[in-house]
Chain A
Amino acid sequence: MRKVDLLIIGGGSAGLAAAVEAYDRGIRSIIIIERGAELGGILNQCIHNGFGLGEFKEELTGPEFAYRFAKQVQDRNIECHLLSTVTSVTPNKVVTYVNEEEGSVEVEAKAIIMAAGCYERNAGAIGVPGDRPAGVLTAGQAQLMINKFGYLCGKRIFILGSGDIGLIMARRFTLEGAKVLGVAEIMPYSNGLNRNIVQCLNDYDIPLYLSHTVSQVIGKKHVEKVEISQVDEKFRPIPGTEKVFDCDALVLSIGLIPNNTLLSDIGIKVSGTKGAEVDQYLQTSLPGVFSCGNVLHVHDLVDNVVKEARIAGESAARYIQGDLHVEEYDISCAAKDGVGYILPQHISGSDYEKVDFKLRVRKPTQNVYIEFIYNGETIKRVFKGVIIPSEMEVISLPLSLFKEKKGALEVKLTPKEVNQ
């Protein structure tokens, strides 16, 4: 059986950035397994701009951003297998992948970085009521069809969900000559970034229906009508609030889910985000297996994916070099009041001076502190005038704050007291 130091599952932004980082830290035996025909993953279908402001200080399109990282990988001669699918991972870190040239290949890796991205929540998962005809697509499908293949799914389109891809696609459909009749969002606030609400909906006069959902899809062969309704506080449609749109497509942007089955299938601990549970090294519950990018938790910006992937790349390199220390600390991290999730779930060692905490809040909130309570004591408060679920918060704390080196960290929102 072939043996390698590092095997990376996924050649999108996370996998590429992790590979480059591990290489630059001295790891030479690296292979990347990518299912697509080219490196870059989903960035290749994101032809809009706005990528890389953090990383390159310029606004790039998705393919441009992907190209820069693919080039870094190619410049280092890192071995990549395209159109290749990982079919299994074992607890002994034997990875099986399959492709046309090599067939089914087993590779034993010292370390694995899981960077397989996410998939879109779809009509089946939420049980969209009504008929199930042609013309119901996820935003990502519609994006791929128009941006890569050159085909549009409809001329009069309704969008369910205000996730960023849905908003981006609202603009894209409009530019492509289709009429976007509206976007319905079941929550009382948008799930997309503010800049996308402004640039993709407001600029094109596309209405956003908050606290609304699709209550019926109508159409035998193809979508003919979409009925939306306002929802009550339990997200149930309120009778009498129906609005019907004559349209030929319903596009869904209702969330992304980490594509983590390969790890969850072998019993690696999974968190509430459906990604793996990790420590600050981004190491999972199986030593030597690391996770980063959207397969760990869904990110807002690719810049944040890259930063996270570099940590995974460094940690994997240290692990391979026998220089990753997990013994010194043992602290559990939990999300409490108002915080949806917190990463990492565990602090284990002292190789890095700081810990990057990532969190999202449950709902838009004003004038709050993000409060880090360690063993009952507040060790850090970060004030936020406005904080919204669509934006991921990254807060770096020095490890020195965790003096006892064990115990529990809780992260919650505390309202700011009104001063007299």
Chain B
Amino acid sequence: MKDVIVIGAGAVGAFIARNLSRFNLNVLVLDKDNDVCNATSCANSAISHSGYDPVPGTKKAKFNVLGNQMMEQVCKELDVPYEQIGTLTVATEEAQLKTLEELKERATINGVPSEIVDQARLREMEPNISEEALGALYCPTGGIINPFLLTCHAMENALDNGVELALNQEVKDIKKVSDHFVVYTQDKEYESKVVINAAGVYSDKIAAMIEPIDWFITPRKGEYYVLDHFKGEFVNHVVFPLPSAKGKGVLVSKTTSGNYIIGPSSEPMDDRECVACDSLTLANVKQQASMLIKNIPFYQQIRVYAGLRATPSTHDFIIESSKSEPAFINVAGIESPGLVSSPAIGKYVVEELVSKVLKLEENKNYKKNIKPYTKPLDLSNEERNALIKEHPEFGRMVCQCEKVSLGEILEVLHRKLPCNSLKALKKRTRAGFGKCQGGFCQPISVSIIAEEKEIDVSKVSYDKDGGYFAPYKSNKGGKR
């Protein structure tokens, strides 16, 4: 019997798990995919929103602002790249200047520092801002985060503190039996006193397993471009247009790895798995971005991607016990600003909701800091050479574009957080993230994974289990 089962290993599930691990509880996290951080948390704008935008008084406003305040400390504890580069919300029409004032007022009510910058100052701050830009709301506390490492490291920290993780476990049904729940997956069943639903775009389906619900999730797809990192920066802040009913609009931002992302679009979907990109949508993203920033070097494009936001019909995060079962907690509809909110949501869910149904007793062995990762590129030349002398594999580059060494790859393959696919490896190490997109390193990474996991090369997945990189062994044999 588990004390708590968390369904979903995205950012929200990971931070709930991490917070649960602060207490002496028997916790299990289930995810239907073969990796943590494999849906919404993996494909978003990678922004730590300041919190000026959500309607005051909403859960979105509350958790966004709290999460933003926590982010620096959390990223320090979890060794996650984070930069508070500030956001600029840009007015491009005369009428929008008044809206900036309204947004500033909203920011003040939400407790978010902000200031309105005029055209001249805006041009100074962003030399490539479009000619149409008239002014902007500057929020210095907004920033950028590496969403993959935020999620992966939060989960790994939870695992290090005693949480269990079961991947490839898709929840099919949940039943209340006397004083506990039975969670049925495709091939197993688990018992638990408390169940927390953090299932992202499926959170309404999971919630409806317990009781009829009066809300639903509409997945909303966002498509993006990724540009390579290159010498000379063309944007210095996260640059947004004014928010609309459809969301925060197409942004242009650098990332913590020095790349640039441009997006997202916003289209409601029926299919909860569809992250396909489409040329017309992307062309529209390109056009909208060009209204904000001029001369975007789209020739530096290295990837396009799409993610699904879990948009709730209630327009606000749903973070509460279900109506009939206090021990079944929904953490649903966590769309934007979900990533930045996740540390605050995790804390609240455990301290305010789980505490009402379980006795929380402090875990004396809890360690808030993640075990350090070796980062050869951050070392001085002497330190790096000392490292390579002791561990030569840190001197062997596997991914030439992003300068990822064999040592770093071996390290993530042998840590507590499972790493089972090329994509999982890419999220953790950046191997394959560069301009050749794994053209050179993926075949090498495949053979490294096969060797370390003691499986055949043909059984190494690219992303989802069963989606193999090179599934057929040649009848003529051949060894690496």
Check if A and B associate.
yes
CB distance from B291 to the nearest CB of A (A): 20
B118 interfacial contact with A, CB 8 Å: no
| A177 interface residue (CB < 8 Å to B) | yes
A217→B403 CA distance, assembly (Å) = 30
Rounded to whole angstroms, the CA-CA distance of A132 and B461 in the bound complex is: 13
Q: Of the 9-residue stretches A17-25, A121-129, A300-308, which lies at the interface with chain B?
A: A121-129
Cβ of B243 under 8 Å from chain A: no
B403 & A127 in contact (Cβ 8 Å cutoff): no
B439 contacts A141, C-beta separation under 8 Å: yes
Q: B480 and A149: CB pair below 8 A?
A: yes
Which residues of A have CB within 8 Å of B458?
Answer: 151
Within 8 A of A (CB), among B255-274: 273-274
With contact pairs A119-B435, A145-B443, A151-B472 given, residues A222 and B466 touching in the complex (Cβ less than 8 Å): yes
Could you tell me if B463 and A103 are in contact, using CB atoms closer than 8 angstroms?
no
Q: Could you say which residues of chain B place their CB within 8 Å of the CB of A127?
A: 225, 277, 279, 282, 301, 303-304
A138 CB to closest chain B CB (Å) equals 5
Contacts of A417 in B (CB 8 A): none
* Complex CA distance for A312 and B66, rounded to whole angstroms: 60
How far, in angstroms, from A99 to B406 measured CA to CA in the complex? Answer: 11
B439 and A99: CB pair below 8 A? Answer: no
Nearest residue in A to B386 (C-beta to C-beta)? A103
Interface hit among A152-160, A277-285, A313-321:
A152-160
A144 interfacial by beta-carbon distance below 8 Å: yes
Q: Hey, which chain B residues are within 8 Å of A87, CB to CB? A: 397, 403
Q: Which residues of B contact A135 (CB under 8 A)?
A: 462, 467
> CB-CB contacts of A155-180 with B at 8 A, as 1s and 0s?
10000000000000000000011000
Question: B residues within 8 A CB of A265?
Answer: 231
Verify if B479 is at the interface (C-beta below 8 Å from A): yes
Is there an interface contact between B464 and A155, defined as CB atoms closer than 8 Å? no
Contacting pair A154 B461 (CB below 8 A): no
The answer to whether A101 and B439 touch across the interface, beta carbons within 8 angstroms, is no
- Beta-carbon contacts under 8 Å, A337-355 to B: none
Inside 8 A of A133's CB, which chain B residues have their CB?
Answer: 462-464, 467
Chain A residues with CB below 8 A from B274, complex form = 131
In the complex the two chains form, is A119's CB within 8 Å of B397's CB? no
User: Does B465 reach chain A (CB closer than 8 Å)?
Assistant: yes
Residues of chain B with a CB closer than 8 A to A72's CB? none
Contact B463 A151 (CB under 8 A): no
Residue pair B302, A125 in contact (C-beta under 8 Å):
yes
Cβ contact within 8 Å between A221 and B396? no
Q: Does B213 contact A (CB under 8 A)?
A: no
Complex Cα spacing A129 to B305, Å: 10
Tell me the smallest distance from the CB of B262 to a CB of chain A, in Å. Answer: 12
CA–CA, A267 and B403, complex, Å: 20
Interface 1/0 per residue, A184-207 and B, CB below 8 Å: 000000000000000000000000
Q: Which of B433-456 contact A (CB under 8 A)?
A: 435-440, 442-443, 446-447
A220 and B472 in contact (CB under 8 A), knowing A125-B437, A134-B461? no
Rounded to whole angstroms, the CA-CA distance of A215 and B392 in the bound complex is 45
Contacting A134 at CB < 8 Å: which of B301, B443, B464, B480?
B464
Interface of A is mostly: mixed
Residues of A with C-beta under 8 A to B304? 124, 127
Q: Cβ of A131 and Cβ of B275 under 8 Å apart?
A: yes
- Indicate with 1 or 0, residue by residue over B364-385, a CB within 8 angstroms of chain A CB atoms: 0000000000000000010011
The reply on A181 being an interface residue by CB < 8 A is: no
Partner of B388, one of A100, A146, A177: A100
A75-103 CB mask vs B (1 if < 8 Å, else 0) is 00000000101010000000000111111
A221 and B467 contact, CB distance less than 8 A? yes
Q: Do B392 and A124 touch (CB < 8 A)?
A: no
The listed residue (B226, B439, B443) touching A122 by CB distance below 8 A is B439
Distance of A122 Cα from B401 Cα, bound (Å): 14
User: With A35-B400, A131-B275, A146-B474 given, is the CB distance from A103 to B225 under 8 Å?
Assistant: no
| CB pair A150 B476 closer than 8 Å | yes
Q: Considering the complex, which residues of chain B in the window 262-319 have a beta carbon less than 8 Å from any beta carbon of chain A?
A: 273-279, 282, 301-305
Which residue of B225, B385, B392, B463 contacts A104 across the interface (Cβ within 8 Å)? B385
Q: What separation, in Å, do the CA atoms of A102 and B396 have in the docked complex?
A: 10
The interface bits of chain B over 333-369 (1 if a CB of A lies within 8 angstroms of the residue's CB, else 0) are: 0000000000000000000000000000000000000
B-facing mask of A246-275, CB < 8 A → 1, else 0? 001000000001010100110100000000
B-chain residues with CB within 8 Å of residue A52 when the two chains form the complex = none
Q: How far is the CA of A240 from the CA of B91 in the complex (A)?
A: 41
Q: Which B residue sits closest to A153, measured CB to CB? A: B470
Q: Are A154 and B471 in contact (CB under 8 A)?
A: yes
Q: Is B478 an interface residue (CB 8 A)?
A: yes
Q: How far is the CA of A257 from the CA of B463 in the complex (A)?
A: 26
Q: Name A219's closest neighbour in chain B (CB-CB).
A: B467
Task: Check if A83 sits within 8 Å of B403, measured CB to CB.
Answer: no
Write the nearest CB–CB distance from A126 to chain B, whole angstroms.
Answer: 8
In the complex, the 8 A-B pairs of residues with the closest C-beta atoms, listed nearest first: A150-B478, A134-B467, A134-B462, A124-B303, A221-B467, A100-B392, A103-B385, A151-B470
17 interchain pairs (CB within 8 A)?
Answer: A101-B395, A103-B385, A124-B302, A125-B302, A125-B435, A127-B303, A131-B274, A134-B461, A134-B467, A145-B469, A150-B479, A151-B472, A154-B472, A221-B466, A237-B279, A259-B436, A261-B435
Given A103-B395, A129-B277, A130-B276, 19 more A-B residue pairs with CB atoms under 8 Å apart are A100-B393, A119-B436, A122-B302, A122-B439, A124-B303, A125-B435, A130-B278, A132-B276, A133-B463, A138-B439, A148-B478, A149-B443, A149-B470, A149-B479, A152-B472, A220-B464, A236-B279, A237-B279, A267-B231
